[in-house]
Copies of this chain bind each other. A is one copy, B any other.
Amino acid sequence: MAEREVDRSVSQTVKAQLALRDQLLSGSLRPGERISELQAVETTGASRTPVRMALVRLEEEGLLEAIPSGGFMVKAFSERDISDSIELRGTLEGLAARFAAERGVSARELEPLKECLAAIDELLRQVPISVDAFSSYVTLNARFHALLTELSRSPPLIRQIDRASSLPFASPSGFVMAQSALPEAQQILIIGQEHHRVVIDAIENREGARAEAVMREHARLAVRNLRLALRNRTHLDLLPALALIKSATD
């Protein structure tokens, strides 16, 4: 293997983890399929030790499942698993919003959130929204959710929300993309943006219960739309995360 170039700026473990995650989310590995360590070694270029570490991390992340007799398989998710994961995430974000509201947030901390909000407003002014603008929306939306989570100032909660978002379909980007499959996509984005506006207002006015309620509603909207999107499966190829969905939807 004379041609192996080792990039020491990032560990082999991390590289293997990223490469394997890509394979999982792109669907080149099928749900239920056993992961061969040797095959992973070949595709990632790392040796067995870092590959094994990456597999352990991906298992903890929820993308893989340990096989009792040894090794790992690609985890499969039902439609209900997905909607539960989204609702779960919404519940945690609701708690984060409530913490932020109850504990108080300075105007300076709220500034980036408001910038995000304004940027999204700008994008949504286009009717219909362009593909580019939609892609910007996905980024900005993810940023909004991340900033909101940070406002809770609660490391354990932030950590848990990160874990809950590691399942790709439960991440903000994931469910936005699922919603985009619907004809009423633009209206949905507008309603979501209204939720964003309300949660900031509630936090500013230190209304914890209201802040929490709107984030939970935000997630319920996402669940409802995901269900609809799965019914009329148009553009579902937009959502590579669905590579992990199990046969229940077929």
Nearest-neighbour CB distance to chain B for A95, whole angstroms, equals: 5
Binds B, one of A53-61, A115-123, A125-133: A53-61
| Interface status of A25 (Cβ within 8 A of chain B) | no
Interface residues of A in 131-182 (CB under 8 A from B): 154-157, 159-160, 163-164, 167, 170
Asked if residues A155 and B81 are in contact (CB atoms below 8 Å), the reply is yes
Interface residues on A, range: 20 to 34
Q: How far is the CA of A154 from the CA of B88 in the complex (A)?
A: 10
Interface residues of A in 70-93 (CB under 8 A from B): 80-81, 84-85, 87-88, 91-92
- A53-B52, A91-B95 given; A62·B159 CB < 8 A: yes
| Interface status of A49 (Cβ within 8 A of chain B) | yes
Asked if residues B53 and A154 are in contact (CB atoms below 8 Å), the reply is no
Asked if residues A156 and B85 are in contact (CB atoms below 8 Å), the reply is yes
Identify the A interface with B (CB < 8 A): 49, 52-53, 56-57, 60-62, 80-81, 84-85, 87-88, 91-92, 95, 99, 154-157, 159-160, 163-164, 167, 170
- A-B contacts besides A57-B60, A91-B91, A160-B164, 12 pairs, CB < 8 Å: A56-B56, A60-B60, A60-B61, A81-B155, A84-B99, A84-B155, A84-B156, A84-B157, A87-B95, A88-B160, A92-B92, A160-B160
Identify 22 residue pairs between A and B in the complex whose beta-carbon atoms are under 8 Å apart, listed by A's number.
Answer: A49-B49, A53-B56, A56-B57, A56-B60, A57-B60, A60-B61, A80-B154, A81-B155, A81-B156, A84-B99, A84-B155, A84-B156, A84-B157, A85-B156, A88-B92, A88-B156, A88-B160, A91-B91, A91-B92, A156-B167, A160-B163, A160-B164
